[in-house]
Structure 1
Amino acid sequence: MNYIKHLTGFFEKVAIDKTLNPTHVSLYIALFQFWNCNRFKNPISINRDEVMRISKISSKATYHKCLKNLHSLGYINYEPSYNPFKGSHVILFNFSEDLKPLSKSERKPKNEPLIELVSEHALNKSCTSSETSTEQALVPSINYINNTNILNDKNVSNLEKQAKKFEEINNSILKNEIEEEKEKKLREKKKEKFIITSNVVEKPTIEEVKTYFQENNFPEQEAQKFFNYFKSVGWLVGGKTPMVDWQAAAQNWMINAPKYISNAEQPNRAKQLNTTTDKDYSEPL
């Protein structure tokens, strides 16, 4: 590929495109450098930090905005990657094909001067040897004669159609990504709901609790305490998680029950702490 013709075609497009600014041009030149290092093979894998460093763009928002604008206008084909370990892909188009040679009828004769004669209006207003003119002679610009700097209407219309096509493709891709994200969230919610529902067991009755405590040689009063407590909290463990196995919770209740027995119910209570009501505090220790 002739990269000189490619860049010439690119700058001809930029010259007639009023939507682009210097930041777009800088970003495209940085992408062109990656393309050059890849021997002009498509697609190329880019790194955001590296492209921002070369293009001198410091804002991530500006970087993504300019990248999407170049994609929608048909300068590049941007394929974003949402995987942090995989770079995004960019396809650059060959603009050297837009530079078509002029036909023989459009070429100027060899003997014809490059600069046309000044119009009669300009000659009448031009400077003479006797007076100074206040008007400027209108001379055609050299760039106006150079037809290689002007795209024909057919190429412009093709580029507009191509940009519109890429914009439609980009919108359809974004729409599909949004729908996939919604379906993913909906599947996750259904999965969480199924897990919570499957983990919930039927609540035991007071009779079942009493029978279980009696089988483990625990008094009926502890069974009543266990049933009343968990019924008051909606059979939730820790006030948040639904109870999965009430027999296991009953076993933990039985293990921890001796810790909450009052001092009056303990058989080995220290009797030396007892005092009599008829103690005489006037007696010395």
Structure 2
Amino acid sequence: MKSDQFLPSHISMYVSLFQLWSVNGFINPFRICREDIMKLSKIKSFATYHKCIRELQDAGFINYLPNYNSYIGSLIEIKDLDIPRIFQVQSFQNLKSNVINETDFSAPKFYEVELYFKERDLTSNDASLFYSFYESQHWICNNKKLIKCWKAAARNWICKIKNNDDRRD
């Protein structure tokens, strides 16, 4: 992900991480609790949380070492940045050229798909079937075009599952 394509959720999460870093005396690395970060950054979805934290790490703003024990917490290291590109002044022409195009699609990780399905009260097996199908298709639709939004494809998949369940009853 390019740093000029950050969404408000990315910025909110980074500011929340920075705030906790300052509370911890600017010591790297420091421990975080997912619930605290989600509350501070006003992120409600687990999938959005994981997407934002992964993309902040991929962009080089943080180092993230997850820990699946909620009593210990995950480790975060805020990287020392000189002047991030997102804070540099850009001309209007540069801003117009920063529009996201359809080639910027990044395939989701399985845990993101699984979280998305679990939030909608579906099983991990349903998520696995969806992920395996589209992974085997290289995230290309029936019309031979790259998927723009995997969540839209997931919503369609979920509707088909629910329609099939209704017919069986």
Tell me the TM-score range normalised by the shorter chain: 0.3 to 0.5
- TM-score, length-scaled by structure 2: 0.47
The higher relative CO (CA closer than 8 Å, separation ≥ 6) is in 2
Whichever of the two has the greater Rg, that structure is 1
